[in-house]
Amino acid sequence: MARAHEQPIRITTAAQSRQVDLAQRQKRYGIAMAIRTVCFVGAVIAGANHINWLWPVLIVAALFLPYVAVVMANAANTKGATEMDLLDTHYHHNELEHRDED
């Protein structure tokens, strides 16, 4: 039996399942690591072709991307934690009030 003080939550505030959230985090991490690999390969190619301004930029990007990837992968899904109050009783009073007709 539901407690009297619990409010029903609308389905729009429900967070995704843990498996979906984990899969999305792994995908973001994989994409960031793929970009890091491209940066390393690009730095080697740029260095071999004597493009002296490009390879240091790509090395710095490749060194910075693991931090960004970890932060992105650890970012929690915040769909259920919004500042808006989406409870069915928006003004926190009963919709059908009992009135004494005296």
> Would you state the pLDDT for residue 101?
64
pLDDT < 70 positions in the chain:
1-5, 7-15, 76-102
At 34-51, the pLDDT tens digits run: 999 999 999 999 999 999
- Residue 40: inside a domain, yes or no? yes
- Residue 7: inside a domain, yes or no? no
Tokens describing residue 45? 């190619």
- Residue 96: inside a domain, yes or no? no
Q: In terms of residue numbers, what domain contains 66?
A: 16-74
Q: What is the per-residue DSSP string for the chain?
A: ---TT---B-GGGPPPPHHHHHHHHHHHHHHHHHHHHHHHHHHHHHHHTT-TTHHHHHHHHHHHHHHHHHHHHHPPP-TT--SS--BSSTTSS-SS------
pTM above 0.85, yes or no: no
Q: Which of 58, 66, 18 is nearest to 41 (CA)?
A: 58
> Would you state the pLDDT for residue 96?
61
> Would you state the pLDDT for residue 56?
94
- The number of folded domains in the chain is 1
